[in-house]
Amino acid sequence: MLVFRLASTKYSRDFSGTGSSLFGGRWNKKGSPVLYTGESREIALLETLVNIPSMVLPEMDMITLQIPSNSVMELKIPDLPPNWRDYPAPSILVEIAEEWILSKESLALKVPSAILESSHNYIINCAHRLHQKIRIKEVKAFKFDTRLRRG
Distant-in-sequence, close-in-space partners of 111: CB < 8 Å, separation ≥ 6: 27, 74, 75, 120, 121, 122, 123
Burial class (CB in 10 A: 0-12, 13-18, 19+), 67: buried
Q: How confident is the model at residue 106 (pLDDT cuts 50, 70, 90)?
A: very high
Quick one: pLDDT band at residue 53, thresholds 50, 70, 90?
Answer: confident
**Would you call 40 helix, strand, or coil by DSSP?**
coil
pLDDT at 132 over 70: yes
Average pLDDT score over residue span 31-53: 94
The answer to whether residue 54 scores a pLDDT higher than 80 is no
How many domains are there within the chain? 1
Average pLDDT, stretch 66-73? 97
Question: How far is the CA of 76 from the CAs of 7, 69, 104, in angstroms?
Answer: 26, 17, 19
9 within a domain of the structure (yes/no): yes
Residue 147, domain member (yes or no): no
Residue 150 pLDDT > 60:
no
Determine, yes or no, domain membership for 30: yes
Q: Which tops the pLDDT comparison, 10 or 151?
A: 10
Residue 151 placed within a domain = no
Within a 10 A sphere around the Cβ of 26, how many other Cβ atoms? 22
Lowest mean pLDDT among 11-15, 25-29, 52-56: 52-56
- Whether 131 maps to a domain, the answer reads yes
On whether residue 148 sits in a domain, the answer given is no
Q: What is the mean pLDDT of the chain?
A: 94
What is the mean pLDDT of the segment spanning 107-127?
97
Q: Which one-letter DSSP state was computed for residue 1?
A: -
Asked whether residue 124 carries a pLDDT value surpassing 90, the answer given is yes
Look at residue 140 in the predicted model and tell me its pLDDT.
98
pLDDT higher than 60, residue 125: yes
Neighbours of 21 (CB within 10 A): 17
For residue 150, being part of any structural domain is answered with no
Q: Give the domain range for residue 36.
A: 2-142
Q: Is there a domain that residue 98 lies in?
A: yes
